[in-house]
Amino acid sequence: MSPPIEAVQAKLGPYVEAIVACFRLGLEDYVREYASVRSVHSKRTQASLIHDHIVRRLQERFGFLSDAEGDLAVHRKGNLVQLIFRCGEFKLRIKKLGNGYRPKNIPTQTVINFNLQTSFDAIPEPINLYVGYRPRDDVSLVSSEIVCCCPNGNTMAWAWQVDKGDTDSDRTDNVIPLREKDAATKKKRRAKKRLTPEELEAKRKKEQDGDADEKGGPSG
């Protein structure tokens, strides 16, 4: 079950400005440092490089979990990097967001567990969130939307645009309404009707009769 957005806003609100600043700086780093070769980067390469630059800025601002002084810190577990609260209430993954504010993920079991709000490490029953950037177009990366969203299985329960401020009115106004089509990841395929043995035999006989007619040719 996904948490109410108000609870997340109340806890994460004091950190929103700093998180957004780290995203902006990371995006600016990428645009500046790869200006001459950016056109040859695949979307996957671009997203990976931007992720690393944003993570570096978050590390500088919040520190690692092992030596950070504040409640929020960066936690690295292998190649997986997350922002987490010491109390274990939240885990935030940094992602590029696409349609419906869904992250660009390969559906591994770890990702599925995360999206289902399943605890799979030492932190007990955390709230799993994505905080990511959503480019407005291919040119203006630096002005991307910065959004916090909550996975709920194959959909997003809610999305909160955090780069527009964090007063009480901002929190209400910046909740992004998700359309039904945007929230669903895939359209359900209609299952094919399973034929009975009698129907299969009738179909086979019909096909054989058709083949015989073609071989015999027109009668005259």
pLDDT at 123 over 70: no
Backbone angles phi, psi at 121, to 5 degrees: -140, -160
Residue 147 near residue 153, CB atoms below 8 Å: no
Other CB atoms within 10 Å distance of the CB of residue 183? 17
What tens digit of pLDDT does each residue of 103-117 get?
887 888 888 888 888
Lowest model confidence (mean pLDDT) among 121-125, 167-171, 206-210: 167-171
Domain spans, the chain: 5-183
| pLDDT confidence band for 215 (50 / 70 / 90) | low
Residue of 151, 197, 212 whose CA lies nearest to 178: 151
What tens digit of pLDDT does each residue of 49-102 get?
999 999 999 999 998 877 766 788 888 887 788 888 876 678 899 999 988 888
Residue 65 CA to residue 122 CA, distance in Å, equals 14
Residue of 3, 55, 26, 23 whose CA lies nearest to 161: 23
Please state the pTM of the whole predicted model. 0.72
Tokens standing for residue 74: 């960066």
| Cα 129 to Cα 147, 179, 196, distances in angstroms | 10, 19, 47
Tokens standing for residue 155: 């959909």
What tens digit of pLDDT does each residue of 25-37 get?
999 999 999 999 9
